[in-house]
Amino acid sequence: MDKNNLVILILAFGTFGILTTEMGFVGILPLVATQFGVNVVDAGLFVSLFALGVAIAGLVMPLLFSKVNYKKSLLLVLGIFIISNICFAFITDFNIALILRVIPAFFHPIFCSFALTLAAQLAKEGEELKATSRVIMGVSAGMILGVPIVSSLSYSESFELAMLFMAAINIIAFISLAILMPSIKPKEGISYSGQLKVLKKPSFILSIIGVLLISAGLYSVYSYVSLFLGLSNIVGNFLSVVLFLYGVFSICGNYIAGHLLSKVPNKTVLIYPFIISIIFLLLFGFYDIVMAIIILMIIWGVFAGIGNNIQQFWITSAAPEAPEFANGIFLSSGNIGITLGTTLSGIAISALGVRYIVFVGIVCSLLAFVFFVLRNRASKSETNLN
């Protein structure tokens, strides 16, 4: 393996650590509520506020750091995550814990955006999409595999050990990048103002809205998946196993998505919201049948992985001239979607019960389809004008 490929794998591992820190709380919200003496909806703030922090920072931080040495930026972010996770293991006050959760969220988009950009730059000519897909696998692994790992450690050992596990992943990534990654300065590209000009493109704005909605659809259900699975008595270590299966098949979905988006990108994107909606309807119908739920979680896992690739592809393909900024917007849009989906599902849980969160996901997914269609029309108009 040449050095560039090794660096790409380390970037993927670092991304896994960053996303594990973000999404690890999803599978342990009931435990977090007990740990800090709050209700489950308040515990959901650890997910939604982190996502909101990423959403806000994604709009500006990758752009502000786009002229800074890549290696220094990546190590800075990992250092902040390490300190935060170690401190978090020993905090008992809910409000202080929330602050410690939000601080690293503002640096999260720098790492993920730069990792995606660097992967494409370090890849051999013609293999840029493959390299980028490896980093997205890190994103998926963190979002999906990180959840059952943290869940298992929290329930079988302790909440504190799970937090230190997150810190350990980031420490390994920090040391690996410090030793193996060369000092890389960003390429001379367009100015800050030039990058911001992509916001004037209708296709880019429509892409952002579509990605925001598809993310809201996915995470309106996934953010409370531990509660939903509890309806069929999937709890504790059994819950960790089911979430692990979901994660493994999500990574398979990343691999499948790379091929689909290379060959039939528009068809893949346009059919996706309907498939997710059908899966959610089936989850609603078979919510109390354990075997059916396990099978549906595996299928959902595959399409969750495909969805992560779709979101990144849809936004960056609308602004190839500003990759760092586009990747930052991708992260921002996705996390605004997580915040929106989590908030709407929290309302649905309070009003109707956890079973009905699937309808939040369905509505958001079908609205995303509308904006996917509008984006395609806008892209054709922009091409004709040019």
Return the number of other C-beta atoms located less than 10 Å from residue 323's C-beta. 23
- What's the average model confidence in pLDDT over 158-175? 90
For residue 146, how many C-alpha atoms fall within 13 Å in the half-sphere facing its CB? 28
Name the band, by pLDDT with cuts 50, 70 and 90, for residue 69. Answer: confident
Question: How is the chain split into domains, by residue range?
Answer: 3-385
What pLDDT score was predicted for residue 284?
95
**pLDDT higher than 90, residue 24:** no
Residue 210 near residue 375, CB atoms below 8 Å? yes
83-126 per-position pLDDT tens digit: 998 988 888 888 888 888 889 999 998 998 888 888 877 777 76
Q: Where are the beta strands (DSSP E) in the chain?
A: none
Q: How far does Cα 340 stand from its chain's mean position? A: 14
Length of the chain: 386
- What's the average model confidence in pLDDT over 222-240? 86
| 74-83, 136-145, 159-168, 170-179, range with the lowest pLDDT | 136-145
**pLDDT higher than 60, residue 265:** yes
- What's the average model confidence in pLDDT over 217-238? 88
How far apart are alpha carbons 36 and 20 in whole angstroms?
20
Which CATH architecture describes the domain 3-385?
A: Up-down Bundle (1.20)
Q: pTM of this prediction?
A: 0.77
How far apart are alpha carbons 198 and 188 in whole angstroms?
18
- What's the average model confidence in pLDDT over 73-90? 91
Residue 12 near residue 135, CB atoms below 8 Å? yes
| 22-26, 274-278, 283-287, range with the lowest pLDDT | 22-26
Q: How far does Cα 358 stand from its chain's mean position? A: 19
344-369 per-position pLDDT tens digit: 998 999 999 999 999 999 999 999 99
Name the band, by pLDDT with cuts 50, 70 and 90, for residue 248. Answer: confident
